Amino acid sequence: MGFLKLFYGECPLVTEEEKMLQISRIAAFLVVFLCAIPALAQSNVSEDGRYIVTMSDTSAAKSAVQAAGGTVALDLPSISGAAVYLPEESLQGIVNNPHIVSLEVDPRRQTQSEPSSDSQHTPYGIEMVQALNVDPGVDADEVRVCIVDSGYDLGHESLPTEGVTGDANDGDDWSDDCGGHGTHVTGTIAALDNGVGVEGVYSQSVDLHIVKVFSGSNCGWVYGSDLIRAVDECQEAGSNVINMSLGGAAPSTEELQAFTDAKADGTLTIAAAGNGGSTDEVYPASYESVVSVAAIDEDENRASWSEQNDQVELSAPGVDVWSTVPEGTLVGCNPAGNRCSGTVNYAAWSGTSMAAPHVSGVAALLWSHNRLWTASQIREALRESAKDLSDGWSPQYGYGLVQAEAALTYLQTYYPAEPLECPESCADGEYCDGEATNFECVPVPPECPESCDEGEYCDGEETDFECVSEPEPVYDVEIGPSHDSATGAPGDAVTYEFGVCNTGNTDDSYELSADGGDWTAVLDFPEEVAISAGECATVAVIHQIPTDASHDSSATGNLSAVSLSSQESSAAATFTTTADDPPEQTDPDVDAFELEVDAFRHRGRQQADLYWNQGATDSGSVDILRDGSVIESGAADSGYYGYSSNITGGGAATFQVCESATDHCSEIVDVEF
């Protein structure tokens, strides 16, 4: 209890039996808030009746939900949807409602941490991730980290108070941490180097935005729709990095879209890989758009409870991690909760929840050195510079232990902030010329020795300059067609292209007009155009053949260009269009249905790209078959289909594409994964 004594004064003496009760009480208290709760299995029916719906008509759809006995729990304007509660008997009617685009179970998400005993510990992870070797950079004021969790102990002696904003999904107070989890996560990212308590990865006061999603008496789980709203709030607050030390087993289509959009917008999202100790995937960490972080201990060994799957990207310290908890947190309480041994402001907890904020803090630290680096470049640097813990990527460690200093060196090497400067000053009469690292001092070119009189200009090169009289303005124009005759069927619009060139020595503007003869002609170009001296502009003229034009009938048109500076300068060109017979209508070759398949494995899973000649169908839709069974019905006849499966390992398969509900099919293609 030396650590508690150091920060909080003497603790009352207790017996060994009381100590065991105190430890049990701590565990019971923290498990309520922090232990992983098994997520709902994905199915078509929600256990508690909560769903995510997207809508084509928001007002009409909400009315339909209410008419079906449902309620709206959370508006999600970014996906044109909402989280709703619906009775099971109304589901089919809602799915069939024309104003409902999609409906899916709203999966639960919970914190990803496990409590430890109150052993004395210092944040060893700060040194392990090289945070002590990297100070914030010149763009520190432009970096903001968003922490989606259980709240924040605003006013804590070791945490920032300036530059901290927040939201709460249910209208709760974001600065009141209902379980301590959010405060512990934030301390790992941003605890101040102020001489008390602990310090975080980014210990020089980074801007924070807190989104409180956990609340209420259990403070232990939320829905996927809460995370959709949280991502919106993080981005609206201008956050560069989002930390989510939480997760659940069931994926969500709409939640996936929210994280995919955030990645496209340049936001880097980092999440806890999960604490099941299995190969199961936990979401949102296992979405491709999110960085999944596994936990290791002080000896760089994987924590036994840390998930190990093909989405793990990085590792970070997550065992007995000391960090901040809400000031005055009770410890050593008896089972009844009416007697405790004392209070603490700091505690050591374990979990992938504790690992993820190490990576978030490092990402913010890197971004502070150059805000122009992209989220993809930061993610690449974190991955490529990680300390290898398993001879290459592995599901236990990903690419390895995150390293701040090595990642900064990687970014500065491959994505330098700005070109290097000249290595030395140049002598009088010279200047520095070149780019990147190839610079040299070269003589300054001489200028005209004196100003010229009105009507003259300085002409020459090197040291031979003289003042010469400016030439009299010359205005002239030529029109050179790329073609001046064409044929087309009655009703066709035939397009001609002409080059209108300024052949004089003075910039000029020209007025253009088109005359189609007996048929209509229009300019597909402004009627007035400015052309620099010696330059040309391309002008398109559309000649319309009447629908009643007879075979071999023709009309001659004319394009004119007139100088607006000198009306004497003008030019014209002619073009002749002849009516031809309409093209014969032929039936499409319905048998010309060709299929190519590129089969491969991504992270062990069977995938394939299917290509066929688009337009080989009359209906415009196709069915995709694998091994003789339809895997996608009514797909658009776009000429491409991306096949993705959860089947792992190699093997053989067949693919075929057929026009929907017909026997008009491609050949069967055999592939090997």
Closest by CA position to 110, among listed 207, 203, 221, 16: 221
C-alpha span between 612 and 595 (Å, rounded): 4
Choosing from 252, 353, 368, 385, which is the catalytic residue? 353
Question: Is 149 annotated in the active site?
Answer: yes
Got the DSSP string for 20-67? HHHHHHHHHHHHHHHSPPPPPPP-SS-SS-EEEEEESSHHHHHHHHHH
SS3 482: coil
SS3 183: helix
Alpha helical stretches, state H, 243-351: 253-264
Got the DSSP string for 247-266? EBSS--HHHHHHHHHHHHTT
Helix (H) or strand (E) holding 316: strand 312-317
Alpha carbon of residue 31 to chain centroid = 34
How many residues are given for the chain?
673
Kindly give, in sequence order, each residue whose CB lies less than 8 Å from that of residue 517, ignoring residues fewer than 6 positions away. 555, 556, 557, 558
Closest by CA position to 439, among listed 419, 416, 457, 461: 419
Q: Are 529 and 500 in contact (CB under 8 A)?
A: yes
Paired tokens of 516: 């189609």
Closest by CA position to 101, among listed 131, 80, 122, 130: 80
Choosing from 121, 181, 209, 358, which is the catalytic residue? 181
C-alpha span between 240 and 433 (Å, rounded): 37
Question: Is 353 annotated in the active site?
Answer: yes
Q: Are 305 and 273 in contact (CB under 8 A)?
A: no
Place of tokens 């007996």: 518
Closest by CA position to 346, among listed 14, 2, 23, 3: 3
Q: Are 478 and 515 in contact (CB under 8 A)?
A: no
Got the DSSP string for 199-248? --SSTTT-EEEEEE---TTT--EEEHHHHHHHHHHHHHTT-SEEEE-EEB
Instruction: Please give the radius of gyration of the chain, using alpha carbons only, rounded to the nearest integer.
Output: 35
Q: Are 624 and 641 in contact (CB under 8 A)?
A: yes
Kindly give, in sequence order, each residue whose CB lies less than 8 Å from that of residue 425, ignoring residues fewer than 6 positions away. none
Residue 13, number of CB atoms within 10 A of its CB = 7
Q: What angle do CA 177, 178, 180 make, to 5 degrees?
A: 60
Choosing from 118, 149, 226, 637, which is the catalytic residue? 149
For residue 284, cis peptide bond before it (omega within 30 degrees of 0): yes
Question: Is 482 annotated in the active site?
Answer: no
Helix (H) or strand (E) holding 377: helix 375-384
C-alpha span between 15 and 641 (Å, rounded): 69
Kindly give, in sequence order, each residue whose CB lies less than 8 Å from that of residue 195, ignoring residues fewer than 6 positions away. none
C-alpha span between 483 and 652 (Å, rounded): 55
Q: Are 591 and 621 in contact (CB under 8 A)?
A: no
Q: Which residues are catalytic?
A: 149, 181, 353
